[in-house]
Amino acid sequence: MPPSGSNIFLVLDIGTSYIKCGCVDSKNNILALYQQVFPMQKRGSFFEIDFDLFLNSTQKLLKECLADPGVKDYMVEALLITSQAQTFAPVDANFQALRRGIVWLDDRAEKEADYLGKRLPDFGKTAGFVRPLAEQYVSKLLWLKKNEPSVFEKAWAFPLINEYLVQKLTGRFYSDITGFGMSGMFDFRSNSINKEILSILGLTEAFFPEIGKPGIRGELISKHIQQEWSLPNEFPVYLCGFDQGVSAYGSGVRKTGDVNINLGTAMVFYTITESLATDLSENQIAGKHSVGDYYFLLNLENDFGIQIRRLKENYFQDDTYDLLFQTYLDYPDVLEKIPPINKAVLNSDKPEYTHKLCAGIIKYYINRLKVHFAQISKKIELKDIFISGGMAQSKVWLEILGSAINHPFIINKQANAGIFGAIMIYHDNQ
């Protein structure tokens, strides 16, 4: 039995690869932890998700977590949500999705991004990106307007995936500035949705959520959801920010100049800054940090984890990542190879050739890492460096990183940094 009067936090971490759900007590002990694959569908270069399937999957995950024998006698203090950014779907007035959601990895909106770049010369000074990107929410909204006008015109709103979930749980449409700020829709100078972009899209602010600081606004789950989902009690739902920022906070990033390198689906560098960076390079993003009045600077390589896993599945399926990364050390003079690699090359059965191919691709990402570090160093003095994510479990990869970074770093072995980060953000912002 739990101590009298003790509560738990229910934390949902909506990542690109997995959705995690954890129950954490007041002493930061994880009492129950469940996860499932993020139900993403890939069609050619399109990445989509059925929002109804997502909702059903999330319901199942939450109920499994709360039914765990270790937590069934606890009361839930709050549900804290951290989520991937950019993924959205158009919905009708009943918040039913009008089409499959479009995942942030999807880059169908290249033409629309180019068009917006020409129309918005100040974008780099207002939105936290050097220019509009095909992966961005704003570019995909314009793609939807041009390519699926009947859907666009029927839409009552265009919620991001975390906004969709909280509306389904609470009946309220709200968001947090760190997550929504990644969309390209936000103007950090005016601290509001960009009016020029609204004009281009032919939309008003009514199509978008109320936007506040992470971990501040908590709306109670509806009685209908409490009963239908067999939840133990009514509790508030908070949005705590986008997954990379929350994970960085949970990994130890606390002060300006601290950097977390997250090695997951993407290779992400996250650091805290005093003000919004506007002189940005390609693959750099700036925005509002989840805690206090600080901002963040983020560098990323979108497909790092995807490409590395692809190599492992093709050539080292029954082996560890250490053997894959060892190829880089075995062939130090190999030329870098820029991914992606076509299927004909991947299907080669010549070990030396394939090992050199792996070494070349790893060298490409090491060189990209060095570029990112140089870019960050130009803007801020580096302090503590943290390494997190699944690939950080490889000793060989850490050895390679140590030589490439040439800076002491701390290995964060906490596999659930996003869960603990959400709780920290909630406490620090209350």
- Phi, psi (degrees; rounded to nearest 5) at 295: -120, 175
Using DSSP bridges, classify how beta strands 210-212 and 174-176 pair: parallel, antiparallel or unpaired: parallel
Give the count of beta carbons closer than 10 Å to the beta carbon of residue 178.
27
pLDDT above 70 (res 66): yes
Instruction: Give CA–CA dist 240/248, Å, rounded.
Output: 13
289's torsion region: left (phi>0), alpha (psi -120 to 50) or beta? beta
Count Cα neighbours of 281 within 13 Å in the Cβ-side half-sphere. 15
pTM for the whole thing?
Answer: 0.89
Kind of pairing between the strands at 219-220 and 210-212: unpaired
Strand 46-49 and strand 30-37: pairing? unpaired
Give the chain's mean pLDDT. Answer: 92
pLDDT digits (tens, 9 = 90+) for 99-152: 999 999 999 999 999 999 999 999 998 999 999 999 999 999 999 999 999 999
Q: How far is CA 380 from CA 124, 220, 267, 282, 374, in A?
A: 19, 40, 20, 17, 10
Residue intervals in the chain for CATH 3.30.420.40: 7-243+420-429, 256-411
Q: Which residue has the higher pLDDT, 347 or 14?
A: 14
Containing 183, the helix (H) or strand (E) segment is none
* Cα–chain center distance at 16: 7
Kindly tell me if the per-residue pLDDT of 4 is higher than 60: no
What is the fold of 7-243+420-429? Answer: Nucleotidyltransferase; domain 5 (3.30.420)
pLDDT digits (tens, 9 = 90+) for 264-318: 878 999 999 999 998 888 889 999 999 999 999 999 888 898 899 989 998 898 8
Q: How far is CA 255 from CA 126, 128, 289, 382, in A?
A: 24, 20, 11, 10
Average pLDDT estimate for 366-381? 91
Does the pLDDT of residue 332 top 80, yes or no?
yes
What number does CATH give the domain 256-411? Answer: 3.30.420.40
Q: Which band of pLDDT confidence, cut at 50, 70 and 90, is reported for residue 344?
A: low
Q: Which residues pair with 187 in a beta bridge?
A: 192
pLDDT digits (tens, 9 = 90+) for 312-328: 998 898 889 999 999 99
End-to-end CA distance of the chain: 29
Angle, helices 321-330 vs 351-379, to 10°: value is: 90
Question: Contact 161/88 with Cβ under 8 angstroms?
Answer: yes
What are the tokens at 261?
Answer: 């390198």
